[in-house]
């Protein structure tokens, strides 16, 4: 069956099949990372819905909402190639009522690490994700580990608000040289792209170390040696469930996360590291 393009709740209801449904929320400008999520979704459910919506609520003033890449025709073609059943692409004006009042508050976890750099970002992201869940009514929703704090916050929302959706995390897809795929990579010049490689290099350096102090030191060293075009925002080693910093002694999984500006482009990346025995 050909791909169905849904613009609103009525279209979604008409497109709904009888079996299980998996949702892959995206902001479009689809790349191989998004495609890996779609494939995972297809393994998990009978029907796959991909949402394409650049959510104004999760962009702060001065961020790249207006210049965020919009490649809708190519996105539709990618979804068709991946056997997606429905693309849900609402118009920005149709998602939010002009007199809307109620939204999701991400809590303390939404104000730390990435949330400290982007005030209000996680409130806006959770609000749109909950709306997408209510519109699409998926059994399963797939999110990338690339946005580790986002994934963690969505798991938190689902637990705290008893949202009846199974959240599935998917590994980060990288270029052969280590750069994590991102819709924002297209902003990078060839020179900036080389500079951006310091992020994944730093994460790899940290990931082999046995203690929090040594993980941070090894990753920091790589970033300190990076070209001056790299403007570090944060490098943290955090508990995956809470995003609070871990300290020595620590055993188990932690997330080594980094954010930096290269030129005018802000990039984030992370790796899960295993500490202790
Ligand atoms: P975005 O369109 O950037 O909002 O991302 C949509 C979904 O794709 C999110 O769940 C992201 O975490 C995920 N994603 C983005 N980049 C990658 C990547 N390189 N590998 C795997 N998933 C990704």
Mean pLDDT (the chain, rounded): 97
pLDDT recorded at residue 79: 98
121 is catalytic: no
Catalytic residue among 22, 23, 34, 271: 34
Reported confidence tier of residue 76, pLDDT bands at 50, 70, 90: very high
Q: Return the percentage of the chain with pLDDT > 70, whole number.
A: 99
Per-residue pLDDT tens over the stretch 179-215: 999 999 999 999 999 999 999 999 999 998 999 999 9
CA–CA gap between residue 259 and residue 266 (Å, rounded): 7
Other residues' Cβ atoms within 10 Å of the Cβ of residue 3: 17
**Bridge partners, residue 24, by sequence:** 50
To which residue do tokens 């400290």 refer? 116
pTM, entire model: 0.97
Reported confidence tier of residue 277, pLDDT bands at 50, 70, 90: low
Residue 37 in contact with ligand 1 by CB distance below 6 A: yes
Residue 34 in contact with ligand 1 by CB distance below 6 A: yes
Per-residue pLDDT tens over the stretch 237-268: 999 999 999 999 999 999 999 999 999 999 99
The answer to whether the beta carbons of residues 22 and 48 sit under 8 Å apart is yes
Mutate which of 37, 65, 89 for ligand 1? The one with the most ligand atoms within 8 Å of its CB, which is 37
Q: Return the percentage of the chain with pLDDT > 90, whole number.
A: 97
Residue 170 in contact with ligand 1 by CB distance below 6 A: yes
Mutate which of 147, 154, 196, 199 for ligand 1? The one with the most ligand atoms within 8 Å of its CB, which is 147
- Over residues 133-158, the mean pLDDT reads 98
**Bridge partners, residue 267, by sequence:** 260
The binding site consists of: 27-34, 58, 144-147, 150, 173, 181-184
Other residues' Cβ atoms within 10 Å of the Cβ of residue 174: 15
To which residue do tokens 């779609």 refer? 38
Per-residue pLDDT tens over the stretch 89-100: 999 889 999 999
Whether the predicted pLDDT of 169 surpasses 90:
yes
- Over residues 32-61, the mean pLDDT reads 97
pLDDT recorded at residue 24: 99
Smallest CA separation from ligand 1 atom 22, residue: 144
CA–CA gap between residue 21 and residue 129 (Å, rounded): 16
Output phi, psi for 71, to 5 deg. Answer: -130, 55
pLDDT recorded at residue 92: 82
Reported confidence tier of residue 85, pLDDT bands at 50, 70, 90: very high
Whether the predicted pLDDT of 127 surpasses 90:
yes
List C-alpha distances in Å: 68 to 27, 187, 221.
9, 10, 32
DSSP string, 235-275: EEEE-TTT-PBP-SS--EEEEEEEEEEETTEEEEEEEEEEE
CA–CA gap between residue 197 and residue 189 (Å, rounded): 13
- Over residues 218-227, the mean pLDDT reads 98
Per-residue pLDDT tens over the stretch 11-20: 999 999 999 9
The answer to whether the beta carbons of residues 191 and 262 sit under 8 Å apart is no
């Amino acid at each position: 069956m050909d791909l169905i393009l849904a613009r609103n709740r009525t279209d979604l209801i008409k497109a709904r099949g009888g079996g299980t449904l998996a949702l892959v929320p995206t902001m479009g400008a689809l790349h191989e990372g998004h495609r890996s999520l779609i494939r995972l979704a297809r393994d998990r459910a009978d029907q796959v819905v991909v949402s394409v919506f650049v959510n104004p609520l999760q962009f702060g003033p001065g961020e790249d909402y207006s210049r965020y890449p919009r490649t809708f025709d190519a996105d539709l073609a990618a979804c068709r190639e991946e056997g997606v059943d429905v693309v849900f692409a609402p118009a920005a004006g149709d998602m939010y009522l002009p007199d809307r009042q109620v939204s999701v508050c991400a809590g303390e976890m939404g104000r730390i690490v990435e949330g400290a750099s982007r005030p209000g970002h996680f409130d806006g992201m959770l609000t749109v994700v909950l709306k997408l869940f209510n519109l699409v009514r998926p059994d399963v929703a797939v999110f990338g580990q690339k946005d580790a704090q986002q994934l963690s916050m969505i798991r938190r929302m689902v637990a705290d608000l008893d949202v009846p959706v199974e959240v599935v995390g998917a590994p980060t897809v990288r270029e052969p040289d280590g750069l994590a795929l991102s819709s924002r990579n297209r902003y990078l010049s060839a020179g900036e792209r080389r500079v951006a490689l310091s992020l994944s290099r730093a994460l790899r350096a940290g990931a082999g170390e046995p203690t929090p102090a040594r993980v941070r030191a090894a990753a920091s060293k790589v970033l300190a040696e990076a070209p001056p075009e790299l403007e570090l925002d944060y490098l943290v080693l955090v508990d995956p469930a809470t995003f609070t910093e871990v300290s020595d002694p620590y055993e188990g999984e932690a997330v080594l996360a980094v954010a930096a500006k290269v030129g005018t482009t802000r990039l984030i990346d992370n790796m899960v590291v295993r500490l202790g025995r």
